[in-house]
Structure formats: C-alpha cells, structure tokens
C-alpha cells in the first residue's frame, strides 16, 4: 500500500483549518468511510466485469443484460473512531456480497479482538459492554459479547488443547 504524499497531506490539513483533535478524528472517520465505499465499488466492478456507466462486451451483444448495478443500501459501520455511514453498492441479481465488510457485519475495527481479550481476562459480558461503551462510545449488548465469545470458543479450545513441546 502506498503512502499519501506529504504535500497532499499538508494541502488537505491547510484546507480544513483543524482546531481540535476531535475535528481531525472526524475527518479521519469520514475518509475511512469514503475509502470503504470506494473499495466496495471496486469489488462490484470486478464482479460485474465493467465499471460504472459502462457495459461489458457481452452485454452489448445481448438485448437483456445478465446483471446491472442497482443503487445503494445504507449501512452504519462501527469503527474505533466511531460510527460512519457507508453506501453499499447493489446489483440486480443480488449476487454481490462485499468482502471488505461482510454481509450483516457492522464492525470494521477489530473490536471483536478487543472483546475477546477482555473476555479472556475474566471480565463479565456486562462489564465488557460497559468498557466498550466508555472507550469507543459504541453501545453493544451483552448478548453481542456472548455471540462473539461463542464464535471464538472452538479456536480457544483448540489452542488450550494443543500439544506442548517438552522443556
């Protein structure tokens, strides 16, 4: 992945006139949302075989296309920076499923890992949901904590029962 050129970053910072770290975090959150949306649009381009406002060579030959873009659906994604709204592109046949943020997944920040580490430290599900609320200002239910911990339990059991080397 390429780094953003320093000149471009300076130009952006100067144009925004940031006065607090909160404004910087808000701008970062919005940029992250924009990047997520562009990645999903690129995924759909790759799946359909042509970019927006284009038709594939196969479609030009047919009178009825097999699949087209079909607008967007809104989704709220929870990040370490807070919540951000993104527009998920759709296709008419419903075959497209985003890979960067899977269908029905609303966490894009590795929050599951944080929840599991708190759970591994012996915190209760209610304590974990309160910690996440205080740290990230994102409300999660104790039931969600339970579902996340249940999802990882088979991996945890396998790790606990792994063969150890003799010392």
Residues 117, 103 share a domain: no
Q: Give the number of other Cβ atoms within 10 Å of residue 68's Cβ.
A: 13
Pairwise pLDDT comparison (133 vs 47), residue with the higher score: 47
Q: Are 142 and 126 in contact (CB under 8 A)?
A: yes
Residues 127, 94 share a domain: no
Residues 76, 11 share a domain: yes
Residues 70, 119 share a domain: no
Query: What tens digit of pLDDT does each residue of 119-158 get?
Result: 767 777 788 778 777 766 667 777 777 776 676 677 767 7
pLDDT at position 165 is 82
Element (H, E) at 72: strand 69-79
Predicted TM-score (pTM) of this structure: 0.57
Residues 87, 31 share a domain: yes
Residues 125, 152 share a domain: yes
80, burial (CB in 10 Å: exposed 0-12, middle 13-18, buried 19+): middle
Residues 137, 84 share a domain: no
Q: Are 40 and 89 in contact (CB under 8 A)?
A: yes
What residues form DSSP beta bridges with 84? 77
Number of domains in the chain: 2
Residues 87, 150 share a domain: no
Range of the domain at 133: 110-161
Q: Are strands 82-91 and 69-79 parallel, antiparallel or unpaired?
A: antiparallel
User: What does the mean pLDDT of the chain come to?
Assistant: 75
Query: What tens digit of pLDDT does each residue of 59-96 get?
Result: 555 545 578 888 898 988 877 667 888 898 988 888 88
Residues 132, 92 share a domain: no
């Amino acid at each position: 992945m390429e780094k953003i050129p320093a000149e471009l970053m300076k130009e952006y910072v100067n144009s925004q006139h940031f006065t607090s770290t909160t404004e910087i975090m808000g701008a970062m959150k919005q940029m992250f949302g924009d990047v997520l949306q562009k990645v999903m649009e690129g995924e759909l381009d790759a799946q359909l075989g042509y970019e927006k406002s284009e038709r594939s060579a196969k479609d030009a030959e047919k009178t009825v296309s097999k699949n087209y873009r079909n607008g967007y659906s809104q989704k709220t994604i929870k990040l370490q920076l807070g919540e951000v709204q993104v527009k998920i592109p759709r296709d008419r046949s419903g075959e497209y499923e985003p890979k960067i943020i899977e269908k029905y997944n609303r966490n894009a920040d590795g929050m599951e890992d944080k929840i599991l580490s708190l759970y591994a430290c012996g915190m209760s599900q209610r304590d974990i949901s309160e910690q996440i609320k205080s740290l990230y200002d994102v409300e999660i239910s104790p039931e969600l904590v339970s579902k996340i911990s249940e999802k990882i339990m088979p991996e945890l059991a396998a790790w606990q029962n792994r063969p150890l080397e003799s010392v």
